[in-house]
Amino acid sequence: MLISGNIYRTYLRFLLPTLGSMILFSSYTMVDGIFVGQGVGATALSAVNVSLPFTTVMFALAMLISIGTSNMITYQLGQKHLEKANKFFSLGIAISAGLSFLIAAFSFYHIDLILSILGAKESIRSLAHDYLHVIILFSPFFALTYVFEIFIKADGHPKLAIFLTSLSALTNIALDYIFIYIFHLGVYGAAVATGLAQLVPSLGYCLHFLSKRSNLSFTPFRFHFTDFIRIVRFGIPSALTELASGFTILLFNHSILTYYGTEKIASFSVIVYLMTLITNTMIAILQSGQPLISYSFGAEAYFTMKKLRRMIFLTIAISSIVLVALIQIFPRQIIAVFLSQADPTFVQFTVKAIREFSLAFLLLGFNIGIGGYLTAVHRPDFELIISLLRGYVVICAVLTLAPRLLGAGAIWFSLAISEAITLVCSSFLLKRRLSSLKALAARSKEGAKIA
């Protein structure tokens, strides 16, 4: 049973491990960035940054299957249908494994095409090839580790997720140091370290789900295309949200190359790591409450859903303010973590860019939170609209028009403008869904407490 006792304590029981796990999950690429920036240099850091959208694609695939399947699993558990929950669990694992290996195989044999799409210029192409070549080989484990992490929370064991993620992060740090500083393998060593570190949690999750501690278990199933469509229907908004991060990085890389040149990509690389950390923090806050909301929706516990919604948005608000305040106060220290030997002109430019860009972090959490809540209450179509707006339509329009109308400096405000426009739309969609939930609650034993 996912929810037992005080709902606030239950939420915190999921929030703290999920938040810690996601921050550690973000550290995989951040640790690479820190070790590469300090141990190899700014050019190598730019090469790693150019490769990041590929990793985002694999995480988006993982979210497509895991979030969609998790919603089905927790809903079935709320309905007390354990056998159906196990079939969705097994189906989700099978689909994730199959698709991730297919994408990895295609990417391995078309790596030059992918590098061209990612915008890798000649000055960094060789380094980007060395890094991405290894990441592709390990990419199925990136996807499967993420899928298992989501499922283990649906299984009611969030603490195990943070333990295994912590173990993986420590492995990554140790191997990065060994491969970069002792063996001097550069970006190639950073990629190998990150890939090997993914094997640790993958094995741990498999052992858990094969043990008697697990509520969910691998079950023989027949593939039904309708079940696949149901999973995709619930998962595609979250996948597009994750994919939007890679698309946004790609758009900004091209804009910065156009208006500033290759040398400023290193500045944006630092911002990318911050954006990844903030975005994943907001996703973690959402994911800590999403299975509880979905479970409550299945159990028709509408008042509990109301409490969870308020807790999620309060957590997002507090986290956003605190994190942006820290970024505004300590930008030089953040830059020094990645590039301690950077020249003063570079530091001055990057400080200004970080402070301007980080204003977007005050808003993006609310768009992520609203979208995820809508999927949990079975309106993934609304989250799809939000994902398309914030990740593709609005940001593309703003990033295209703002620099032309206001100058190159407007690039750093583009994400904040995009998030603000999207928030107006997402608030409208949330209000619509809450009205329909109020009608459902009025017909239930809990009355109209959902309002």
Length of the chain: 451
Residue 447 resides in a domain: no
Q: What is the pLDDT of residue 449?
A: 47
Residue 2 resides in a domain: no
Under the banding of pLDDT at 50, 70 and 90, the label for residue 16 is: confident
Under the banding of pLDDT at 50, 70 and 90, the label for residue 325 is: very high
| Domains: count for the chain | 1
Under the banding of pLDDT at 50, 70 and 90, the label for residue 450 is: very low
pTM for the model: 0.78
- How confident is the model over 417-435, as a mean pLDDT? 96
Q: Is the pLDDT of residue 263 over 90?
A: no
Q: Is the pLDDT of residue 4 over 70?
A: no
Q: Is the Cβ–Cβ distance between 50 and 191 less than 8 Å? A: no
Q: Is the pLDDT of residue 415 over 50?
A: yes
Q: What is the pLDDT of residue 5?
A: 65
Residue 146 resides in a domain: yes
- How confident is the model over 380-404, as a mean pLDDT? 92
Residue 1 resides in a domain: no
Q: What is the pLDDT of residue 193?
A: 94
Q: Is the pLDDT of residue 215 over 90?
A: no
Q: What is the pLDDT of residue 288?
A: 87
Under the banding of pLDDT at 50, 70 and 90, the label for residue 115 is: very high
Under the banding of pLDDT at 50, 70 and 90, the label for residue 294 is: confident
- How confident is the model over 424-433, as a mean pLDDT? 96
Residue 315 resides in a domain: yes
Q: Is the pLDDT of residue 451 over 50?
A: no
Long-range contacts for 230-233 (Cβ within 8 Å, ≥24 apart)?
A: 230/68, 230/72, 231/65, 231/68, 231/69, 231/72, 231/88, 231/91, 231/92, 231/95, 232/64, 232/68, 233/68, 233/380
Under the banding of pLDDT at 50, 70 and 90, the label for residue 395 is: very high
Q: Which is more confidently placed, 29 or 278?
A: 278
Under the banding of pLDDT at 50, 70 and 90, the label for residue 233 is: confident
Q: Look up tokens 């500083």; give the residue.
A: 181
Residue 437 resides in a domain: yes
Residue 448 resides in a domain: no
Give, to the nearest 10 degrees, the angle between helix 302-329 and helix 414-442.
170
Q: How far, in Å, CA of 124 to CA of 119, rounded? A: 10
- How confident is the model over 10-26, as a mean pLDDT? 81
Under the banding of pLDDT at 50, 70 and 90, the label for residue 169 is: confident
Q: How far, in Å, CA of 162 to CA of 164, rounded? A: 6
Residue 450 resides in a domain: no
Q: Look up tokens 């990793």; give the residue.
A: 55
Q: Where is average pLDDT lowest: 95-104, 206-215, 339-348?
A: 339-348
Q: What is the pLDDT of residue 68?
A: 87
Q: Which is more confidently placed, 319 or 26?
A: 319
Quote the percentage of the chain above a pLDDT of 70: 96
Look up the domain containing 405 and give its range. Answer: 7-442
The mean pLDDT value of the chain amounts to 89
Q: Is the pLDDT of residue 300 over 50?
A: yes
User: For 64-111, how does the pLDDT look when each residue is reduced to its tens digit (9 = 90+)?
Assistant: 999 889 888 988 887 888 898 999 999 999 999 999 999 999 999 999
Positive or negative, the CA dihedral 314, 290, 394, 327 is positive
Q: What is the pLDDT of residue 205?
A: 94
